[in-house]
Amino acid sequence: MPKEKVDRKRLLKEPDEFISTSMRAMRWLRRNSRWVSAGAVLVVVCGVAVWGWKVYKDRQEAQAQELHTQAYSFYARAVEEAEKTASQDLMGKAVERFEAVIKQFPGTRTGWIARVYRGRANYALGKYDEAVQDFETALGWIPSGDDGTMRALALQGLGLALQAKGNWEKAASAFQSLKEAAAGSFGRMADLELARCYEKQGKTKEALVVYQSLLGLLSEPLQREMVQAQMARLSQSLKE
The predicted-structure confidence for 5-38, as pLDDT tens digits, reads as follows 545 545 444 455 555 665 666 666 567 666 555 5
Percent of the chain with pLDDT over 70: 75
How does pLDDT run across 145-193, given as a tens digit for each residue? 777 888 999 999 999 999 999 999 999 999 999 998 876 788 889 999 9
pLDDT at 104 over 80: yes
**For residue 56, what pLDDT band results from cuts at 50, 70 and 90?**
very low
Task: Kindly list the distances between the CA atom of residue 21 and the CA atoms of 12, 16, 32, 54, 68, in Å, as whole numbers in the listed order.
Answer: 17, 9, 16, 40, 60
- What is the gyration radius of the CA atoms in the chain, in angstroms? 32
63 against 127, higher pLDDT? 127
Residue type, 90: L
Give me the sign of the Cα torsion angle 113, 94, 118, 190.
positive
Under a CB-based contact definition with an 8 Å cutoff, are residues 189 and 181 in contact? no
pLDDT at 117: 96
How does pLDDT run across 191-223, given as a tens digit for each residue? 999 999 999 999 999 999 999 988 888 888 898
Under a CB-based contact definition with an 8 Å cutoff, are residues 100 and 71 in contact? yes
Residue type, 119: G
Q: Strand, helix or coil at 177? A: helix
Mean pLDDT of the chain: 83
Q: E strand or H helix at 193, and its extent? A: helix 184-200
What is the secondary structure of 204-218 as a DSSP string? Answer: HHHHHHHHHHHHTT-
Task: Kindly list the distances between the CA atom of residue 35 and the CA atoms of 21, 22, 139, in Å, as whole numbers in the listed order.
Answer: 20, 19, 47
Lowest-confidence range among 43-47, 91-95, 121-125, 151-155? 43-47
